[in-house]
Every structure is written in C-alpha cells, then in structure tokens.
Amino acid sequence: MSKRNHLLIFILIVGAFGIINTEMGVVGILPYIADHFHISVSMAGWMVSLFALTVSVSGPTMPLLFSGINRKKAMLIVLGIFVLCNIVSIFTSNYTVALIARVIPAIFQPIYFSGAFTIAANSVKKEEAPKAVSKVFIGVSAGMVLGVPIASFLASTISFQLSMGFFAFVNAIVFIATFVFFPSMPVKEKLSYGAQLSVLKKPITWLSIVAVLLLNSAVFGVYSYLAEYLKSVTNISGKTISLMLVIFGGANIIGNILAGKLLTKNAIKTVVSFPLALAVVYIILFYLGQFTLPMAIITLVWGILAGIGTNINQYWITSAASKAPDFANGLFLSSVNLGTTIGTAAGGLFITGLGTQYVVFVGIISLGLGLVFILLRNNMHNHDKQLS
C-alpha cells in the first residue's frame, strides 16, 4: 500500500471515530442531557435509539441515492452536516430541535461508512480488502471505546455543551483533512439503481442479511446489558465496571486487527467458527459470570470476538452482493442496526421475565439461528459454483 493510501485510510479511521463518537458518545452523557433540557433520562434515551433506528432505515437507501456522486464530495457533505448539527446541539435549549439535530446526521451517516469501506477495499488488491476494511473498523471501535468516556468526562467536569463541541471539533478536523488530502473520486462505473437493487433478487443476499442481523443481535443483545450484568450478577463497583467496559472496548480493537488477517487467510472457516466460539464464551459467562476474575477474562475474549464479528458481518453481506458495493455496505449498516435493536429488545424481555443472568440466552439462541443461515448461504454458494 502506498504512503498516500496509508494517509487516506488513516483519515477514514479518524472519520469513523468522529462519526461513531457523535452517535455513541451521548450514551455517557444522558443524565447531563436530561438535566440540560429538564427531561427524564428515559426521554433523553431517544437521542440514542432514534439515531440507530434512523440509520437502519437510511442504511440501504442513502448509499444507493448517492452511489453516482463523486465520493469525496459525498463524504464532505456528510461531514459538513455532522459539524453543523453538532453546533446546533451546543446552542439549542429546545429538546425537539436537539432531536432533529440528531436525526438529520443519522440519515446521512450510511453514506460516509459505505464510501469509507469501498475506498478502503479499492485501495488494495482484492484478496487484501478485508484487511484494509478492518482498519476503518478500528475507528468505529475507538469511537465506542473512547467516545463515551471522553464525552462523559467533559460533561461531568465542565458542561454538556463541551461534549457536543468535542463531537463537532473531531468532525471538523476530518472535514478539513478530507478536503485537503483526498483526491477527487468520481464514480467511474455508475451502476443504475435497478442494477444495484437486482442483488436483492438473489436468495444468497437475503440469507446473508438474516445471518448478519442474528449475529449482531447475539452480540448486542447481551453487550447492551453488560453494565447491568456486572452490577447485579458479578456485584462489582462502578469504577470496576468502567474498567471492564474499557477492557471490552480495547479488546474490540484487537479483534478488528485480527479479523482482517483471519478473513484474508480463510474467510469461510472464520465465519463458521465465529458463532461456535462466541456461544462457548456465553455458556462460560452463564456459569462463571458471578466471579470477578473469570468475568474479566471472559470480557476480554468476548470483546475480541465482538470486534471480529463486526468485520465478519460487513464481509458476509458485501461478498454476497459484490456487484453493488455501496448498496451492499448500506445493507450491512441497516442489518447490524436492526440486529442491535431486536437483540436489545429481546435482552430486555429475558431480564424482565427471568433475571439479568439469563440475558446470555438471547445471544446463544441468536448464534444458533445465525449459524443455520450461514451454513445455508454457504451451501447455496457452493452449489452455484458447481453449476457455473
């Protein structure tokens, strides 16, 4: 990879960090948002859930609509919208306006990630593409790992507005870097909307989408309640819980680096092994989750697998719909967000009905079903290869 491509991918990593930071960073400042706008914490939670829901809807449509536009221009539009909406969030005292300033960037978010994944994949040889894409995912993980504590620290020590200012600042830096260092990136082979949508006619695409939805449900259906699990089952202090969350996030970054190598070496073996490995972790979690040291080790391994899983999800859909890469990346974003929504809702039901310890069964059930769809997709792919 040339020095120029290294620089472009580094900017994409920071861009992914800035955008995910904007999405997930508010998780750590919901109490401060509630205080600032004089609303309940549950109402402030709409800042998170409405963003994710919007991304799941705009995931396939927006990359499709922007697929013929110069990629540099499209990314600058998205980054500009993120900066402006974050600035609005700093100065508004109206919660409805603040929510609108969250929904608008969420509509455009899939355009940035779809472009980023495609640019990263095109910067290297085809067989090296998973490794390049995994680097962009490092920014995603860093946004989740660092964004939440940084935003929380700024809100708790100074003000809620400074947290939003931090989001705006990072996106503004990436906007400038993209404007200065990215070459013009016109779309050389513009695919018609019909040609891109035609990938939905293939059963292999739908099998991939359902598998990815279930795999992400398996991860986030349990991870969403990790803090609650550590508090009520492991019975550890708030500071130790924060440390565990940092361990999970750091491990996630390691998982992203490993995923690129594993998928490049043997993609099918990696994908099939993933649900089996995570299911083993969840079974151990169920039996040993009340003990602090085993829980720390479980969290580390779980975090690594979660990082690998994110890369698997992107690979599994884009390899099924490789003729329409931008649209395929949009389908990936929609599938994972929908999986997160369904998994989190199912996890809540298990906790309400059976207790916090039993939330792991959402993960195990989702992994079992996900493996079925992975094997069905794999068999169909092998059958199609034999026919051709």
What band does 42 get if pLDDT is binned at 50, 70 and 90?
Answer: low
Whether pLDDT at 36 is above 70? yes
What's the topology of domain 191-388? Growth Hormone; Chain: A; (1.20.1250)
Tell me how far CA of residue 157 lies from CA of 34, 93, 160, 280, 378, in angstroms.
16, 20, 9, 41, 52
pLDDT band at residue 295 using 50, 70 and 90 as cut-offs: very high
pLDDT tier for residue 100 given thresholds of 50, 70 and 90: very high
Q: Which two tokens stand for residue 173?
A: 């830096």
- Report angle CA 287, 370, 248 to the nearest 5 degrees: 50
Ranges 52-61, 151-160, 205-214: which has the least confidence: 151-160
Q: How far from chain centre, in Å, is Cα 267?
A: 20
Q: Amino acid identity, residue 88?
A: V
Which spans in the chain are helix H?
3-24, 30-37, 41-44, 46-65, 71-91, 95-122, 129-157, 160-181, 193-197, 203-223, 226-232, 238-288, 292-320, 325-354, 360-387
Res 48: pLDDT: 75
pLDDT value of position 169: 93
What is the C-alpha to C-alpha distance for residues 366 and 78, in angstroms, rounded to an integer?
Answer: 33
Task: Return the pLDDT at 385.
Answer: 66
The contacts of residue 65 (CB under 8 Å, 6+ apart) are none
Distance in angstroms (rounded) separating the CA atoms of residues 308 and 325 = 20
Question: Distance from CA of residue 228 to its chain's centroid?
Answer: 21
**pLDDT at residue 384 in the model:** 65
Q: Which residue has the higher pLDDT, 58 or 278?
A: 278
Task: Write down the pLDDT at residue 76.
Answer: 95
- The model carries a pTM of 0.80
SS3 224: coil
Q: What is the mean pLDDT of the chain?
A: 86
Answer whether residue 306 shows pLDDT above 80.
Answer: yes
- Output 38-42 pairs: Cβ under 8 A, ≥24 positions apart: 39/95
The ranges assigned to domains in the chain are 1-190, 191-388
Separation between Cα atoms, residue 94 and residue 325, nearest integer Å: 39
Confidence label for 292 from pLDDT (cuts 50, 70 and 90): very high
Asked whether residue 242 carries a pLDDT value surpassing 80, the answer given is no
Query: Would the CATH topology of 1-190 be identical to that of 191-388?
Result: yes
Using CA atoms, how far apart are residues 77 and 66, in angstroms rounded to an integer? 11
1.10.3720.10, 1.10.10.10, 1.20.1250.20, 1.10.3210.10: which CATH number matches 1-190? 1.20.1250.20
> Per mean pLDDT, which of 23-27, 151-155, 230-234 is the most reliable?
230-234
pLDDT of 284 above 70:
yes
Mean pLDDT confidence for 334-338: 86
Tell me: the pLDDT tens digits for 134-183? 888 888 878 777 777 777 778 777 877 888 888 899 999 999 999 999 88
Please give the share of the chain, as a percent, with pLDDT higher than 70: 95
